[in-house]
Structure 1
Amino acid sequence: MKIKHLLKILLLIPVIALQGCDTDAEDETYVIRLGHQLDINHPVHKGLVFLKEELERRSNGSMSIVIYPSSQVGDEREVLELIQIGSMGMTKVSASALESFVPEMKVFSLPYLFNNQEHYWNTLNGNVGKELLSAGEPYRFKGLGYFDAGSRSFYTTKKQVVTPDDLQGQKIRVMNSQTAVSMVNTMGGAATPVSWGELYTSLQQGVVDGAENNLPSFYYSKHYEVSQYLILDEHTSIPDVIIIGTHVWEQLNTEQQKWLEESMLAATDFQRALWAESTRESLEVVKKAGVEVIEADKSVFQESVLPVYESLKGSDLEALVKQIKSLGVEQ
């Protein structure tokens, strides 16, 4: 464990001591600590604030969530580890970051998996999505639900990308996901995993030539300040997963679990609407800031990643892909 990360944990020990204090005393509140990596203006953070407020309302103040944004307690992997050892209660994590625990989560990093938003949410809200939420329980975390994280597109610092051929020779930052690495390499780029907190500097200093993410993250991270080109190829739609440690979930009584689940459902609806608005606003802002926005011919990109699907033949993931694809077929 990094010394810097260890120091963060030591500084939080007084708060950790309060974590999980379940009491019948009327003047005390059951507090769950939640750490994540995004800016406080990001629609995902605002969705988490809504979750906190909704939980306080439904529980009449007997439950609450303390939120630590902007990587205060570490990156996604580090916060997951804190949950596993019982030092953190909840987090927001990209489905891609769960791949090493739940291999089925790789399916969300496959390019052009969903036909449209309706197909995407039918999958998340149906049996497939629910089964994936519970698949992490052997690793001490349970999925409560999904937040919208939009569609991911490429942005670059020096050379515009119009077709996959333009990725040749370009180092493209990806999340620490083997599926994402495979996708970018198949398209012709050089996939380069870099932590989110180091990405702005990496783009600025030329460590990488570009990255891929959703529009609000591109805007709120200020990556548009060092990236001149954005192509809206929308290659993947990877949801954020709201995670709670099983050590916390199992401490809650039936009523408390119900309050949290109901609050999560309400927060999902709130965050989806907020995300759509934020996506529109983010696109307008980066255009005004001088970023060249390119509308992609998606068919060319879809054709370029066919080998990714060919490589799945005979695997468990191929069966899951077929199940998801069937949900997008018009009845």
Structure 2
Amino acid sequence: MLITVSRQNKSMDADFVILGFHTNEILQIICFAFFLLMHLITLLGHLAIVFITLVDPALHIPMYFFLCNLSFIEVCYTLVIVRQMLVNFLAKSRRVSLTACATQMYFFIAVGGDECFLLAVMAYDRYVAICNPLRYTLIMSRNLCMQFLAVAYVSAFTISLGLTSLIFSLPFCGSHNINHFFCDIPPVLFLACSDTHTNEVAVFLVCAMILLVPLLLILVSYVFIANSIFRIKSFEGRKKAFSTCVAHLVVAMLHYGCAIFIYIRPKASYSLDQDKVVSLIYTNITPMLYPIIYSLRNKEVKGALRRVWERKFVSMET
């Protein structure tokens, strides 16, 4: 009993060390500059989407209401992970307290889960718009949109609190070196010096709830959407309906694909070095691509950008 208490106290007092990427000092600086540029592009892209959807009346519809919130979540998502990663590229000490590590994991799971739920809600929005267009404004009322958003946020943050508490209730009495660039679930579980079977089952169930259930709903929605699109007789009508869905579908597949690869696996099959690379993709590259995917494939977004530019800048010149 005394040994167990001693181990728990030791784990609570000790700091973690984020190992990050093992490169020399010059490469660290190059990586810092490269990912800082990506980070700034990501923030600029998502903040631009948030801005235009708020100021342009033409985008005050459910589809862009959810897109605005998705971009806001992506901003939070990258700030939670990328900011600390950039600091670690230049920092001599990569120590992080247990509380700070748990806080980062909590917000990472929360905003990641919120994004999963929101992508499912956006699929339902597209389903109603294409399969039931005459009743779209009646079904997708502002009240229902706010309810969807509230459920997504509350569910994600509540689930994250339970999972983070369960993981950090484990004793960490051995190595405190996290073989990752942030406090992710698999590398933290590797450091536990007790049986983690219960925690692994909990992680699997939570990830199934956050990832597999929304993904299944998205796939079912797109089965009905595809069926409706194929029934449209005109080529232009099919093209327009398809163009409103393709951006969302691409974003969903990128997000769920990477996340499922990382988290829906038994602990024995983890490869932390490989997982770091995949995590680097879905925390840095894919968030940067989302605004490009939405803006290039969406005439309304491009039109709103042009209108805002003309109102704010062209009018100033004249």
Same fold (TM over 0.5): no
Q: What TM-score does the superposition give when structure 1 sets the normalisation length? A: 0.25
Give the structure with higher Rg (CA).
Answer: 2
Higher relative contact order (CA 8 A, sep 6+): 2
Higher strand proportion, which one?
A: 1
Q: What TM-score does the superposition give when structure 2 sets the normalisation length? A: 0.26
